[in-house]
Chains A and B, each alone.
Chain A
C-alpha cells in the first residue's frame, strides 16, 4: 500500500491557454499563509509546536473562500493575499470538514474582495479532458499554473482524516506542496480542489483533486451553520458472483445484488438490515453483483448514493430476505463507531494525570506516537475495535500511555502502554470514568489492566503529596483535561481560534 502524502497544492495557472480562465483565476485565487499549532500527544498538556505553511484557496460566491482542511488545521493565525493586492488580510476559519479535507475561511475586511468575481463550480470533467491547476507550490512565490488531463475517476482514501474514502479525481498535472486548496479549472469553472498526491519516489504525475460533488455536499452541509460528519450505511457486504452462493440464497444468476455480511451496531442499518440480506437496489438504482450502481451512466460503488446524502436522510433499499422481496428504508447517521480511526486536529488532547501516570483515550493520534512501543494487545484492540464492535462494551478504551518518572512510581516503570480495565473495582469504559474511579475506594488506588499484567497500586496520600512536585517538575498546570467537550469537538465542530 503506497502511502499517499498530503501536500498543499497551490495552483498557478500556466496555461490551459484560455485568457478568460487565467484572468478569472488571477482575480480569485488567493495565497493562504497559516501559522498552526500541532498538539503533542506525548505531552498532552502542552500547547503544541508552532509551524507555518502556505497553501492556496479561491473565492466562490458569497465572499467565501474555499481551501483544504489540511491547509488550515490547527491554525492560530491565517492571512490571505491576492495577486492584485500586496496586502495580507487576516482571515479565520468559518467551517472545516476534516473528513473530506475541505474548509471555508472568511475575511472580515470587505476591501479584500474588491475585484474578485467568484469562481463558479462545474461538474465532473471527462476522462482525458484538459484541466489547469492553480496555486502557490514550492519553487517560487507567485501564482503557478500547471496543466494536465483527467486520468481516473474513482474512490480514493482521503489521507488527511486517516479513515475516509470519497470520490477523487486523478490528474497528471504536476501537483506539489503548496498547491493544496487551489482550484482545478476547466474552461471558466472549478472542477476540483487540488489536495494530495504521491511522493516523487512512489509515483510520478499522479495528483488528486476533490471533485465538485464532494465540494457541493460540503457547501450544502454548512448551510445550517455547522458542519456535520459524512454519513455511512455501516454495513459490510460481499460481492455475489458465486453461483452456488446465489443458488443457496435463492437468487437467479442474473448478475444482480450483493449480500450483507455484517451490520455495525449503533449504525444506520442496525435493526433494519440483517446478515444474509441480498441488496438488490438502492434508491431505485439496481445494484450489480460486484457492488456497483450506475450514476449518470458511470459505474460507481453503491456507497456513492449514500455519500451525497446528509444525516437524517432516508435511503430506500430493495432487499431479498428469506426468499422474499422486501423494501426497507433506513435513516442515515454518521458512523461514530469508527471515529477512533480519525486523526484529530482541533480538539486539545484529553488526559488524566495521577501520580505521574498519564491516562489517555485510545485514538489514532495516540497510536501514532506509541507506534513503536505499543504491544500486541494494544495494537489488536485498535485494529479490531470497529470490526469486532468492541465499542459496544468499551466506547473509549483508556490507555496508561506514559509514566512520568518520580520516586512515587519507581516500581511502575515499564508498565506504560497497557489498556486499563478497571480502577478501584470500577470498570473503565471511557476517559471520563477515570477520575471518579480514582476518587473511589480505600486508601490505595488499584489500577488493573487487560491481560496478565500486574496491577499498579498507589497510596492516595502519597499521590496527593507527589502531585504538586510532579506538576512543577514536568511543567504541567492541569491535572486533567477530560471534559466531554473534547469528544464533541472530535465529531467536527470547529472552535473559533481567532477572536473575530
Chain B
C-alpha cells in the first residue's frame, strides 16, 4: 500500500513534466506534419519500381521558411507534402537540399505563403552527456506533447546510410505512440538541439542527429550549392600496443597508425602515406585510440574532428611521424575519396541504369544493387560483385570506370543456352574494354551485323549474340516481358 502511494506521488509529479500540453501558439510556430509518398526502385527489375508506401514525420520549421526533416523520411520519394498541425491545410513541398550520409533534408513549400505566421525555431547549442532536453510530438488535434529526454552520450556513431560515422547523441526518452513520429525534433529552451532519427520502444532509447551536424548542413546549403561533409580518405589502427609503437617508431605517446591512404582523398593529397603515425589534426592532439579532447564532449573520436567540424575546402593541417621523423603537412578538406569511386555505396532517388541486349540485362554495380539481396547480401549476392564492391580500394579500381555486369538473362530464342547466367562482370565487348553502360551501348549500336562478343571476368568467359537479331528482336522482347524501354542510360 505504501509503495502504491509512493508510485502515485511520483506519477503525479512526473506527469506534468513529461507530457505538458503546450500552448497552441508554440506548435503553430515551430512544427508541421510532413507526409511523403515513397516508391523505391527495383534493382532486380531496373525498368520498374516497387510498391509505393507512405511515411509521415514531424518537420521543424526554421526561421527562413524552410522545413528540416531526416533524409530517410523523403528518400526515394514521389511526392512530399506539408500539413499544418490542428488544421488540414496542406501544401506540396520540394527538397531543396538533401544529404543521405548526414541523414538531413531541407524542404521548401511550393507556396511561399504557406508558412506565413510561423515564427520558426532557431538552432540551440550542442548538448553533452547528462544534459536534458525535450522531444516534441504532435497530437492529432495539433496540440503538442513534450517528453523529457536525457542525453546519454555524445560521440561518433553510425548513421543509417554512412559507413564511417558522425557525431550522434544517445537519447533516453519515453515516447507515447503517435502518428507522424518518423522524425521528431529534440528541443531545449525552445531551440532545436537535434533530430531524433531512431528510437527503440523497448529500451526507450534512441539516437539523434546533433545540432553541429544540422548547423553544418544548413550552412553548407545556404549558398544553394551543397557540397557535403568532408572525409579524410584513410583507414587507421589504434596505437596502444607498445610493441607496435616501437616497430613503427612512434613517439612516446599519442597518434594513430594509417593503414591505407586513398591518394585522391584529403589526407592523400596532403602527402600522408600508409604507415605514417598521425599525431595532430588542425592542432588537436590525437591519443593512441584516435580520440581528441573536445572542449564540450571530452574525448571524442577523430571522426568528428575531420568530418563534422570542417567544411569542404577548408585548410587541413596534419602533424605526422614518418619513420620517427616528425613533420607538418597541409591540404584541403574534400570528399573526393567518398565521391570518386568505381562503385557507389548508396544511391537514392536515382533510377538504376540498365541496358538490355537481346535479353542479356546489363547494369552498373552499386551498393544499392547489392543491398537488394537483403541483410545477408555479402553471403547471398554473387561473390565477384561482393568482392569488387568491398575491396575496390585495395583492388585499385579506376574510379572513372563503372563495373558493368550481366545481372540476368531474359530467356528468348536469341539467348538460348544462356538463361541460367547472372552476376557476371563484363570486361569488354567486341575487343573493346567497357567502362560504362554508355560505352557498351555505343558498341552495340554501331554493330549492325555480325557478332556481338561479350567478354567476362568469370566463366563463361565469352558469350556471343547475333547483332542483327539483337536489333530486330528488341521490340518483341520488350513486349513479351512488358518492359517499356530496353535501356535507361
Interface residues of A (CB under 8 A from B): 236, 238-245, 247-248, 259, 261-262, 275-276, 289, 376-377, 379-380, 383-384, 387, 411-412, 444, 446, 451-455, 457-459
Contacts and interface: CB of A to CB of B under 8 A. Distances in A.
Contact of A262 (B243, B378, B414, B459): B459
Interface stretch (B31-39, B299-307, B326-334, B464-472): B464-472
A376 B247 CA distance: 28
B417 A444 contact: no
Nearest to A412: B241
A276 B417 CA distance: 16
B240 A384 contact: no
- Pairs of residues from A and B, 10 with the lowest C-beta to C-beta distance, nearest first: A241-B417, A411-B241, A454-B237, A457-B243, A452-B259, A242-B417, A248-B464, A261-B460, A244-B466, A452-B260
Given A377-B391, A452-B259, 9 more contacts: A244-B469, A261-B460, A376-B378, A380-B387, A412-B241, A452-B260, A454-B244, A454-B257, A457-B243
Interface in B436-463: 451, 453, 458-463
Contacts of A245: 417, 463-464
Nearest to B234: A452
B477 to A, nearest CB: 15
A247 B379 CA distance: 38
Interface in B473-488: none
A122 B368 CA distance: 57
B244 A261 contact: no
Contact of A261 (B378, B390, B417, B461): B461
B235 interface: yes
A316 to B, nearest CB: 24
Interface residues of B, number: 37
Contacts of B383: 380, 383-384
Given A376-B378, A411-B243, A451-B394, A242 B237 contact: no
Most buried by A among B394, B461, B465: B461
A242 B464 contact: yes
Contacts of B451: 244, 247-248
Contacts of A236: 459-460
24 contacts: A238-B459, A238-B460, A240-B417, A242-B415, A242-B463, A244-B414, A244-B451, A244-B464, A245-B464, A248-B453, A261-B460, A261-B461, A376-B390, A377-B391, A384-B387, A411-B243, A444-B243, A452-B259, A452-B394, A453-B237, A454-B237, A454-B259, A457-B241, A457-B244
Contacts of A411: 240-244
A38 to B, nearest CB: 27
B246 interface: yes
B235 A452 contact: yes
Contact of B386 (A238, A239, A376, A455): A376
A458 to B, nearest CB: 6
B416 interface: yes
Interface in B102-161: none
A236 B461 CA distance: 10
B462 to A, nearest CB: 7
Nearest to B239: A454
Given A238-B460, A275-B461, A452-B260, A457 B417 contact: no
Interface string B357-392: 000000000000000000000110001001100110
A455 to B, nearest CB: 7
A487 to B, nearest CB: 27
A392 B240 CA distance: 37
Contacts of B469: 244
A332 B25 CA distance: 87
Contact of B246 (A262, A275, A377, A444): A444
Contacts of A455: 244, 247
A247 B466 CA distance: 9
A261 B462 CA distance: 8
A457 B240 CA distance: 12
B418 interface: yes
- Per DSSP, chain A at the interface is mixed
B417 A239 contact: yes
B386 to A, nearest CB: 7
A259 B257 CA distance: 50
Nearest to B237: A454
A373 to B, nearest CB: 14
A261 B451 CA distance: 19
Most chain-A CB neighbours within 10 Å: which of B247, B414, B415, B458?
Answer: B247
B453 A241 contact: no
A379 B387 CA distance: 10
A245 B387 CA distance: 29
Nearest to B387: A380
Given A242-B415, A243-B416, A244-B414, A387 B244 contact: no
B429 to A, nearest CB: 13
Interface string B391-428: 10010000000000000000000111110000000000
Contacts of A412: 241
A244 B418 CA distance: 11
A289 B458 CA distance: 21
Looking at A377, A455, A458, which has the most chain B CB atoms within 10 Å of its CB?
A455
A453 B464 CA distance: 42
Contacts of B259: 452-454
Interface-centre pick from A243, A261, A379, A454 (highest chain B CB count, 10 A): A454
Contacts of A387: 458
A34 B394 CA distance: 50
Contacts of A453: 237, 259
Contacts of B391: 377, 451
Nearest to A384: B383
B243 A458 contact: yes
A259 B247 contact: no
Contacts of B417: 238-242, 245, 289
Contacts of B461: 261-262, 275
Contacts of B453: 248
Nearest to B245: A457
A349 to B, nearest CB: 26
A440 to B, nearest CB: 15
Contacts of A289: 417
B436 to A, nearest CB: 24
Nearest to B238: A454
Contacts of A243: 416, 466
A453 B257 CA distance: 10
Contacts of B460: 236, 238, 259, 261
A243 B468 CA distance: 13
Nearest to A375: B378
A276 B237 CA distance: 47
Contacts of A244: 414, 451, 464-466, 469
B387 A446 contact: no
B386 A380 contact: yes
Contacts of B378: 376, 379
Nearest to B257: A454
Nearest to A275: B461
B370 to A, nearest CB: 12
A292 B237 CA distance: 55
B461 to A, nearest CB: 6
Nearest to A245: B464
Contacts of A444: 243, 246-247
A2 to B, nearest CB: 17
Nearest to B457: A388
Nearest to A244: B466
A261 B464 CA distance: 13
A184 to B, nearest CB: 34
Contacts of A248: 451, 453, 464
A452 B234 CA distance: 10
Interface string B171-209: 000000000000000000000000000000000000000
B255 to A, nearest CB: 13
A245 B462 CA distance: 9
A142 B46 CA distance: 62
Contacts of A451: 391, 394
A355 B242 CA distance: 16
